[in-house]
A and B are shown apart, each in its own frame.
Chain A
Amino acid sequence: AQSVTQLGSHVSVSEGALVLLRCNYSSSVPPYLFWYVQYPNQGLQLLLKYTSAATLVKGINGFEAEFKKSETSFHLTKPSAHMSDAAEYFCAVRLSGNTPLVFGKGTRLSVIA
C-alpha cells in the first residue's frame, strides 16, 4: 500500500529563512508525488508535482522539491520564507495516473516577522 509521512505537524520559520518541509513515501514502485498548499478557509491547490521526469521539480511561489528514490523522500524547500507562505502543506502520492491520491497529515507552516 502506498502512503506518505510528513515529519512535523507544525514548522515555524523566520521571514527570510529557509523553508524545509519533509515528506517520505512508501511505495513498491516509483510513484507520482505532489505537494499541495491550503490557505485558511480555502481548498487545496497544487504547488508542484513529480511524474517521473526531472527529479528536481520547481513549483509556484518559489517552492521546489527533489525526488530522491534512495531516501524515498520528496522534501519541499524554499530559500527565503515570506509571510504569505503561512499555510498548511500536504504531501501526496499515487501509484499511477488513474488511482486516487493519498495525502499525508499535513504540516502547518508559520512565518514569524
Chain B
Amino acid sequence: NAGVTQTPKFRVLKTGQSMTLLCAQDMNHEYMYWYRQDPGMGLRLIHYSVGEGTTAKGEVPDGYNVSRLKKQNFLLGLESAAPSQTSVYFCASEGAGANVLTFGAGSRLTVL
C-alpha cells in the first residue's frame, strides 16, 4: 500500500544513547517533514526537506540531525538522547503544490 512508513514504532533508550528513526515514502513526494507530538503542545516541526539532498531546521531542531540522501527516505537522528526527547515522532510527506500532508503512524520514543 502506498504511504509513509516509519521504523521503529517503539523504542526505549537510555540517556546518552544514539538512534535513528527512518521514514520512507513511496509516492515520489518532494517534501518531507519530521514533527514531534507532546501532550498539550500539538505538533512541532523538527526538520524538513524540500528535495533530495536538502534539509532545513524547523521550530525545535536542537538535539536532532537529519539526512535526505534518497528522495524516498528521510532519517532523523538523535546523537545523545535526553529525557526531554521522550515523545511521539511523526514523519509526513507532500507532493509539490499538493497542500496535503500524508503522515506515518508515528514512532513512540522513551528516553530513560
Q: Which residues of A contact B (CB under 8 A)?
A: 9, 32, 34, 36, 41-46, 49, 51, 90, 94, 97-98, 100-106
* Cβ-defined contact, A105 with B101, below 8 A: no
Of B12-20, B42-50, B64-72, B74-82, the segment with at least 4 beta carbons within 8 Å of chain A is B42-50
* Cβ-defined contact, A103 with B43, below 8 A: yes
Q: Which residues of B contact A (CB under 8 A)?
A: 4, 31, 33, 35, 40-45, 48, 50, 58-59, 90, 92, 96-97, 99-101, 103-106
Number of A-B contacts (CB under 8 A): 53
* Cβ-defined contact, B42 with A105, below 8 A: yes
Q: Which 5 A-B pairs have the closest CB atoms?
A: A43-B103, A105-B42, A103-B43, A44-B103, A103-B42
13 contacts between A and B (CB under 8 A): A32-B99, A43-B104, A44-B92, A46-B100, A46-B101, A90-B43, A97-B96, A98-B50, A101-B33, A101-B45, A101-B101, A102-B45, A105-B42
